[in-house]
Amino acid sequence: MSLFVREIPCQELVELVTAYFDGSLSRSERRRFRAHIRGCDHCTTYVEQMREVIEATGTLTEEDIDPVAREELMEAFRGWKAGR
Amino acid sequence: MTESSDKDLVERLRAGDEAAFAELIDRYGAMMLRVAQMYVRDRATAEEVVQETWLAVLNGIDRFEGRSSLKTWLFRILTNRAKTRGEREGRMVPFSSLAGADEGDQPAVDPDRFLGPDSRAPGAWAAPPRAWPQDKLLERETLGVIRMAIEELPEAQREVIRLRDIEGWTPMEVTDALEITDGNQRVLLHRARSKVRAALEMYFDPDLAGGAP
């Protein structure tokens, strides 16, 4: 391991958050990411906010299927069933 | 409400069980229409694509072996059909310009919020984020801000954040269904989440977010 592991600047760290959450950073990137977070309150806050964004977005619900379209699909199903 | 398993649903569909079909369209129908709409010109065409997809699913149900999940199989058929239709219409495929040619290079955070190259610590926060009030995060008004921010995203970003963060799909399910690479779905998701975060910051901390003169 190099003695001169390059530190990730804050501006770069904010671009790695999604990859970090998805577990798709390389081992060395992940290590540097964590090391940075440990020493940087601002980035800790930033990462926490990204977690909060995901959590809050997760409480939203999608709209339901349009009832007319739904009925058409049910008709299509009955047609399929009859012809089976 | 408990969700039936794929195996159970497939068996019931094969037996012609209408309730099983209803469960599936209630679960995926709205999302399928949204995805189809990314590829084709208008809503009517998207509805046709969705309908064709369901027929293809029903007609192929006897051959479904469960090697992929029902959801993945369903959306793969949908995407293929929607793509073909879109190409015939001469419409640009939304994911073709992925590296962001249409949107330029979009940083997650305004570069003015960081120290410049000539400073003592280039790239360190100059205007750092401040923790948000925890008790307000899930308030109706906050969720409205998020919903609005998602509505305003470019469509590829919008659909990916919907699938990943609202519908709770895994990265692999998204890449399979939309036929994009893992890297692409992540870039889209990252941009989308970053913009939603920026919108929330604007809401909670307007002087900070609007910091650039």
Question: Domain segments of chain B: what residues?
Answer: 6-88, 111-209
Would the pLDDT of B28 be above 80? yes
pLDDT of residue B26: 93
CA B105-B175-B83 angle, 5° bins: 90
Mean predicted lDDT score pLDDT of chain B: 89
CB contact under 8 A, A52 and B111: no
pLDDT of residue B178: 85
What are the DSSP calls for B8-34, one per residue?
HHHHHHHTT-HHHHHHHHHHHHHHHHH
Full-model pTM: 0.85
Which of A22, A24, A56 is opposite residue B143, by nearest beta carbon?
A56
Distance from CA of B51 to the nearest CA of A (A): 7
In which element (H, E) is residue B197 found? helix B182-204
**Nearest CA to B174 among A36, A22, A5?**
A22
Distance from CA of A13 to the nearest CA of B (A): 10
pLDDT of residue B155: 87
Question: Domain A10-82 - what CATH class?
Answer: mainly alpha
CB contact under 8 A, B30 and A63: yes
pLDDT of residue B140: 94
Domain ranges for chain A: 10-82
CB contact under 8 A, A11 and B114: yes
Structure tokens at B124: 């360190």
CATH topology of domain B111-209: Arc Repressor Mutant, subunit A (1.10.10)
Per residue in B46-81, pLDDT (tens digit) is 999 999 999 999 999 999 988 888 999 999 999 999
Distance from CA of A14 to the nearest CA of B (A): 7
At B91, the pLDDT band (50, 70, 90 cuts) reads confident
Query: A-B interface: how many C-beta pairs under 8 angstroms?
Result: 142
Question: Domain B6-88 - what CATH class?
Answer: mainly alpha
Which of A22, A56, A74 is opposite residue B138, by nearest beta carbon?
A56
pLDDT of residue B182: 93
CB B159 within 8 A of CB B93: no
CB contact under 8 A, B26 and A64: yes
Per residue in A36-52, pLDDT (tens digit) is 999 999 999 999 999 99
CB A46 within 8 A of CB B146: no
